[in-house]
């Protein structure tokens, strides 16, 4: 539809010398004069040929097909399983750490050593270095010496990374001995023990799997007891050798300063073999209060 607007030539307007051009009344009269001269003309409507359809007709014809597609899409969405998302930790550069499903993970009670009165400061550790309570190191029974572990205190959420340089703890129910500095970092220096989660990591703090070749260079052994009496030591050694073969001893000093010999059985490059031997020894010596555990040769 076309709408045309035409303006007829209006006669000139002469202002009266008595009237000011800034008077609102004069402007109102002038506007009324121009509006009066405006003529609006409408073109006649263009007839629509019936039967040709149009956008609405095409929409109405296609509506059933669209409804079927929407119903199918809705059905598929409701029947498929919901998506799951896994939160992954990232390194300093923002790149996600690799999957940690193969890293060594363990939970249990941790204690600490290196206090002023326990006598461990300055003594050689299993790795050969002298123990320094102010360093972030720890003792574990089986993790390879030199391994890095992230330790999280499950009671307060604090965590830190430590290097394994010693063997222990040798008290039932504990899985890790931290240095004095480690206990301070994790917030359990005063209470002495805390429940922790251990996970092996690399130098960047990313989860890391253990190197299986280390089982060949530092095999597993079963530690049976730590004895100070030579007679008891010889008797136990003879009994174990008759059933399990080679028995070795390792010199050690208790926190109280007593010199003892740790009695150890076997040399296993497979953890399962060491576990089977430990079970058999526990059955053999069950009446003597002996509780063997697995550790490393060094």
For the segment 199-235, what is each residue's pLDDT rounded down to a tens digit? Answer: 999 999 999 998 888 888 899 999 999 999 999 999 9
The residues, ordered by sequence, that sit 6+ positions from 187 with a Cβ below 8 Å of its Cβ are 153, 156, 158, 194
Residue 193 pLDDT grade (very low, low, confident, very high; cuts 50, 70, 90): very high
Residue ranges matching CATH 3.30.70.1070 in the chain: 215-296
Q: Does residue 177 register a pLDDT over 50?
A: yes
| 228 vs 261: CA distance, rounded Å | 6
Mention the CATH class of domain 105-201.
mainly beta
CATH superfamily of 215-296: Sporulation related repeat (3.30.70.1070)
Tell me the pTM. 0.64
Q: Does residue 68 register a pLDDT over 90?
A: no
Q: Does residue 28 register a pLDDT over 60?
A: no
Average pLDDT over residues 168-174: 90
Residue 1 pLDDT grade (very low, low, confident, very high; cuts 50, 70, 90): very low
| 268 vs 283: CA distance, rounded Å | 19
Task: Compute the mean pLDDT over every residue in the chain, rounded to the nearest whole number.
Answer: 79
Residue ranges matching CATH 2.40.40.10 in the chain: 105-201
Average pLDDT over residues 267-271: 92
pLDDT of residue 117: 84
């Amino acid at each position: 539809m076309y709408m045309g607007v035409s303006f007829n030539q209006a006669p000139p307007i002469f202002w009266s010398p008595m009237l000011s051009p800034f008077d609102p009344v004069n402007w109102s009269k002038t506007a009324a004069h121009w509006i009066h001269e405006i003529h609006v003309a409408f073109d006649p409507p263009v007839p629509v040929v019936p039967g040709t359809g149009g956008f609405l007709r095409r929409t109405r014809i296609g509506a059933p097909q669209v409804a079927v597609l929407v119903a199918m899409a809705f059905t598929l969405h409701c029947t498929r399983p919901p998506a799951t998302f896994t939160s992954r930790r990232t390194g300093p550069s923002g790149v996600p750490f690799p999957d940690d499903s193969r890293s060594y993970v363990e939970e249990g009670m941790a204690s600490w050593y290196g206090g002023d009165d326990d006598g461990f400061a300055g003594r050689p550790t299993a790795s050969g270095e002298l123990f320094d309570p102010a360093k972030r190191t720890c003792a574990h029974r089986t993790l390879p010496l030199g391994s890095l572990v992230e330790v999280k205190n499950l009671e307060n959420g604090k965590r830190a990374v430590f290097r394994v340089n010693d063997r222990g703890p040798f008290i039932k129910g504990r899985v890790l001995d931290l240095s004095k500095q480690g206990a301070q970092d994790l917030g359990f220096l005063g209470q002495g023990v805390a429940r922790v989660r251990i996970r092996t990591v690399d130098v960047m703090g990313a989860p890391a799997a253990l190197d299986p070749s280390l089982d060949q260079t530092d095999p597993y052994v079963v530690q049976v007891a730590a004895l100070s009496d030579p007679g008891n030591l010889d008797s136990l050694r003879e009994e174990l050798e008759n059933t399990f073969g080679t028995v070795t001893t390792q010199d050690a000093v208790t926190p109280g300063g007593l010199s003892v010999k740790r009695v150890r059985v076997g040399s296993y490059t497979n953890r399962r073999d060491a576990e089977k031997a430990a079970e058999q020894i526990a059955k053999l010596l069950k009446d003597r209060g002996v509780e063997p555990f697995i550790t490393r040769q060094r």
